[in-house]
A and B are shown apart, each in its own frame.
Chain A
Amino acid sequence: MAFEGLAERLQETMSKIKGKGKVSEADVKTMAREVRLALLEADVNFKVVKQFVNRVKERAVGQEVMKSLTPGQQVIKVVNEELTDLMGREESKLEQAEKPPTVIMMVGLQGSGKTTTAAKLANYLRKEKNRNPMLVAADVYRPAAIDQLNTLGKQLNMPVYSQGTEANPVDIVREGVEQAKAENHDYVLLDTAGRLHVDETLMEELQGMKDAVQPDEVLLVVDAMTGQDAVNVAEHFNEQLSISGVVLTKLDGDTRGGAALSIRAVTEKPIKFAGMGEKIDQLETFHPERMASRILGMGDVLSLIEKAQTNVDEERAKELEKKMRNADISFDDFLEQLEQVKSMGPLEDILGMIPGAGKMKGLKNMQVDESQIGRVEAIVRSMTKAEKQDPKLMNASRKRRIAKGSGTTVQDVNKLLKQFEDMKKMMKQMSSMNGKKKGKGKGGMQLPFMR
């Protein structure tokens, strides 16, 4: 990645100060500058950064940090707390109309992902909340926008209301909501055309649509990669339409997503959802406290834990942990682990969530080749039961058979066996390390599917 996380930067600054025993005001200033740069690099708007850094400085000079023995960590803690305060702590829910249907209107710039998000949200409402939503295609400007929503509707088997591209968007949404009422849908999602926040004519049109249907939610859809201009966009849309919340899209990219902070600061409206991928079910409730860590480059530990929890059987995990501690793991366990990791989603996503993964030797810039996992799996599955339990059985003819069975070469089999042995050794080391000395070498661990 192009930039390092704030945690690393502060650590670096601190190592220069280390040994002085005391942190001076000038040191706090240096640290404040690091905080400032980190936030700016994360695309947080400079005005927001300024206010923010001033608040952090106040608290830092206010002895909280200077007296501490670990000032670097203290600054991170203060920054994290302030960030979380700014982002809001609570997840916020969708509004619900007293009398159905609840009308949700999606607005935003071109290419921010309104149509995809509308479909994802509809899917979410039906799947997670047991609702019966309907989609309305009111983007009459972009070529084939209506086709796009229709296709998504077909995929989801969900009704899409449209009147073609000749109709007036205000009429489309009015009649769309009427139809939803008549067909007893409890949610209506309005997809509108992307527009520039400074395009007066089109912004007025949005206002007209809003007046016509009185939506319960006006969600501003924003690309997480947006730069400094995010404040302008959010301010304009909020002033003219009084938005009720924000959806942050493309958060599965490698952007820090500082725009989230900027938008939150200027509109004080909650971010309600985050788009996490191109698949229709990749929409998540937005967790503000996790975003704070991400902006700072501290990893998304909570999301990782949550992913692991939903995918891993706890009993089995305990059993496995015991085995690992005794370095008594077999290829069967290995295969099971592999399956679990795979079920947690793309490996790169998972690695991205591990704090410090960027710092670990070998993990930085590491690319995971998912097809390699398939090969490893094939090799293991070509082993006999006995071989899986006791790799020591392996000899040349067995290896040849396995290579043939898995469509790989003997070299591949050898490589895997070697890596498996290394892994066992690592486990042994780790468990003997436990409690005694904290290990220095983390870099040696190499899983078979890492390149």
Chain B
Amino acid sequence: MNFFKKLKDRVTAQTDTVTSKFKDGLEKTRSSFAEKMNDLAARYRTVDEDFFEELEELLISADVGVHTVMELTEELRTEVKRQNVKAPKDVLPVISEKLVAKLDYSGEDYELNMNDEGMTVILFVGVNGVGKTTTIGKLAHQFKSENKNVVLAAGDTFRAGAIEQLAVWGERVGVNVIKQAEGSDPAAVMYDAIQSARSKKADVLLCDTAGRLQNKVNLMKELEKVKRVISREVPSAPHEVLLVLDATTGQNAMTQAKTFKELTDVSGIALTKLDGTAKGGIVLAIRNELNIPVKFVGLGEGLDDLQPFDAEQFTYGLFQELVEAGDHKAE
């Protein structure tokens, strides 16, 4: 259980605003999950099949993904037998041990991949309504406050009002927005944006794209083309392809990640709307199966509410009580 102690110490030692932002943002997510977990342990006298079934449900309720959950509980069953655990409260530490092993965030790189030799181009992709434009606005603000020269490319030429939406963000943050008329070719917008960002000597170019469901073949091809144009103009680009995922999304998020990864070589995930009651547990499954790291989380509507992903914080936030239960046993 040393690991948990370390994790806890590290997380509680961080007293800066990031930690409190994370905590506040995840407040609702955390409390309900932890309460239920404790309640489950308290209600059962012995560890039996019903206990496991409820445990499965609890994990599934976090959208962790049926497959991952089944794998996990299978391992747990074996472990419980091996260690001859009888009391449910003694299972909790075993659970957390297994969970963290699943998360396995050692050595993962959550930093954005920046281009040291010139302009960094970041392409944003995702299905409709996940928060691509908003995430770009927030990220632009972050770069701007680091004194970087930021340009936005209004690549969503399809949805009504999308260009205006990005333009408003550009004004709000104080950065340039390269745009064409609604209905124009998004690849052409990207071409323009790259030329213009170059002449403006931009450090970062953030490229918005129209939301598209991953099963629309033609729209996905269009996205491939957008990416191709970017790579043609800036050979090392895009330096990041961020898939924006809505934390409320269920199992379909896995299909989204798979398809977008195949076609655009997604390098990271921005998990939005995590300030609600949804837990976004599917990112665990996505990490597990596709090895795409989460790089940002959206924790609110404010300009500063996009935070770099911190796996320790995320895990701790989700499973705090479990971690503490682990500590308890260790003492």
The reply on B13 being an interface residue by CB < 8 A is no
A367 adjacent to B217 (CB under 8 Å) = yes
The reply on B35 being an interface residue by CB < 8 A is no
A196 adjacent to B276 (CB under 8 Å) = yes
B side interface size, CB within 8 A? 50
A360 to chain B: which residues have CB within 8 Å? none
The reply on B279 being an interface residue by CB < 8 A is yes
The reply on B215 being an interface residue by CB < 8 A is yes
Best-buried of A1, A226, A258 by chain B (most CB within 10 Å): A226
A390 to B231: give the CA distance in the assembly, Å: 49
The reply on A218 being an interface residue by CB < 8 A is no
Contacts of A39-53 to chain B: CB distance below 8 A = 40-43, 45-47, 50
Instruction: Name the residue of chain A whose CB is nearest to the CB of B279.
Output: A229
A253 adjacent to B215 (CB under 8 Å) = yes
The reply on A112 being an interface residue by CB < 8 A is yes
B252 to chain A: which residues have CB within 8 Å? 43, 225, 253-256
A47 to chain B: which residues have CB within 8 Å? 57
A side interface size, CB within 8 A? 57
A226 to B81: give the CA distance in the assembly, Å: 36
A250 adjacent to B127 (CB under 8 Å) = yes
Tell me how far the C-beta of B208 lies from the nearest C-beta in chain A, rounded to whole angstroms: 12
Tell me how far the C-beta of B228 lies from the nearest C-beta in chain A, rounded to whole angstroms: 17
User: Which of B61, B158, B216 touches A228 (beta carbons < 8 Å)?
Assistant: B61
Q: Would A2 and B282 be within 8 Å (CB), given that A228-B62, A367-B217 are in contact?
A: no
B254 to chain A: which residues have CB within 8 Å? 2
User: Which of B63, B66, B137, B276 touches A37 (beta carbons < 8 Å)?
Assistant: B66
A197 adjacent to B277 (CB under 8 Å) = yes
User: Which of B61, B127, B137, B249 touches A226 (beta carbons < 8 Å)?
Assistant: B249
Tell me how far the C-beta of B307 lies from the nearest C-beta in chain A, rounded to whole angstroms: 17
B248 adjacent to A229 (CB under 8 Å) = yes
Tell me how far the C-beta of A222 lies from the nearest C-beta in chain B, rounded to whole angstroms: 9
Instruction: Name the residue of chain A whose CB is nearest to the CB of B70.
Output: A37
Q: Would A143 and B164 be within 8 Å (CB), given that A223-B246, A229-B276, A250-B127 are in contact?
A: yes
The reply on A369 being an interface residue by CB < 8 A is yes
The reply on B182 being an interface residue by CB < 8 A is yes
Instruction: Name the residue of chain B whose CB is nearest to the CB of A252.
Output: B213
B215 adjacent to A348 (CB under 8 Å) = yes
Mostly helix, strand, loop or mixed at chain A's interface?
Answer: loop
The reply on A4 being an interface residue by CB < 8 A is no
A-B contacts counted at CB < 8 A amount to 157
B167 to chain A: which residues have CB within 8 Å? 144
Tell me how far the C-beta of A6 lies from the nearest C-beta in chain B, rounded to whole angstroms: 13
Contacts of A192-243 to chain B: CB distance below 8 A = 196-198, 223, 225-230, 232-233
A225 adjacent to B127 (CB under 8 Å) = yes
B255 to chain A: which residues have CB within 8 Å? 1-2, 254-255
A369 to chain B: which residues have CB within 8 Å? 217
Q: What per-residue 1/0 map shows which CB atoms of B252-276 lie under 8 Å from chain A?
A: 1111001000000000000001011
Contacts of B90-124 to chain A: CB distance below 8 A = none
Instruction: Name the residue of chain A whose CB is nearest to the CB of B57.
Output: A46
A226 adjacent to B248 (CB under 8 Å) = yes
The reply on A148 being an interface residue by CB < 8 A is yes
The reply on A111 being an interface residue by CB < 8 A is yes
A351 to B129: give the CA distance in the assembly, Å: 26
A228 to B158: give the CA distance in the assembly, Å: 30
Q: What per-residue 1/0 map shows which CB atoms of B165-189 lie under 8 Å from chain A?
A: 1011100100000000010000000
The reply on A109 being an interface residue by CB < 8 A is yes
B130 adjacent to A40 (CB under 8 Å) = no
> Interface of A with B (CB < 8 Å)?
1-3, 37, 40-43, 45-47, 50, 109-113, 115, 141-145, 147-152, 155, 196-198, 223, 225-230, 232-233, 250, 252-256, 258-259, 278, 348, 352, 367-370
A sample of 12 inter-chain contacts (CB < 8 A) reads: A41-B251, A111-B131, A113-B129, A196-B275, A225-B249, A227-B249, A228-B63, A228-B278, A229-B277, A254-B255, A255-B255, A278-B159
